[in-house]
Amino acid sequence: MGARRNQTNAIIKEGMSTPLTANCFCGAVRIELTGEPVARANCHCGSCRDFYGTSMLSATAWPEQQVNVTEGATTRFPHPTKQLAQTFCVACGETVFGENRLNMRIVPNSLLARSTDGVLAADMQPTMHLYYRNRIIDVVDDLPKYLDGWDGPLHEG
Ligand SMILES: [Zn+2]
Ligand SMILES: [Zn+2]
């Protein structure tokens, strides 16, 4: 356990001096992340579920200028009716980031974990569940579970 903690600290220290980079599944697209995310969450809302095709979206949210594609060809797909978009690799189709209605860039935790040997760094771990009332999967952990947004009531029990 001590070794794991040291390893994680090393990743954090490295991240402070140089931008974090992550590649899509096939490796063609590279994104660069600078600074820190403004939010880290597991989102259970129906929009994320449908748009990203996942039971819950585990991701970090960043100001748009802090997430940039530095290599490879991407396509942007805007949601047909909502203020959401995804940017994905044209070769493998993996979403490298999404955009929400606040113009934040949403980076899936799967992508970040892969860039650090399959272990999601401590400073990228989710701190909460959002829209838990809309869940299709129950989660047992100690994180706060907001029924809606993080300014609203919590799920009890
Ligand atoms: Zn790819
Ligand atoms: Zn959501």
Question: Which pLDDT tens digit goes with each residue over 4-49?
Answer: 444 444 444 444 557 899 999 999 999 999 999 999 999 999 999 9
pTM: 0.87
Reported as a pLDDT band with limits 50, 70 and 90, residue 3 is very low
Residue 17: predicted pLDDT: 53
- Coil, helix or strand at residue 141: coil
Give the residues across from 31 on adjacent strands: 22, 69
Who surrounds ion ligand 2 at CB < 5 A? 43, 45, 48
From the CA of 110, how far away is ligand 1's center (Å)? Answer: 14
Whether the pLDDT of residue 134 is over 90: the answer is yes
Which ligand is in closest contact with the Cα of 75? 1
Reported as a pLDDT band with limits 50, 70 and 90, residue 1 is very low
* Mean pLDDT (the chain, rounded): 91
From the CA of 90, how far away is ligand 1's center (Å)? Answer: 7
Tell me the mean pLDDT in the region 79-96.
97
Sheet strands (E) in 19-135 = 20-23, 30-33, 39-43, 57-63, 67-71, 74-78, 85-89, 95-99, 104-108, 128-130
Residue 109: predicted pLDDT: 98
Tell me the mean pLDDT in the region 58-67.
98
Q: What percent of the chain has pLDDT over 90?
A: 87
Delimit the domains of the chain by residue range: 36-63+73-134
Q: In terms of DSSP H, where are the helices of the chain?
A: 2-17, 46-52, 109-115
- 36-63+73-134: CATH topology: 2.170.150
Largest CA distance in the chain: 49
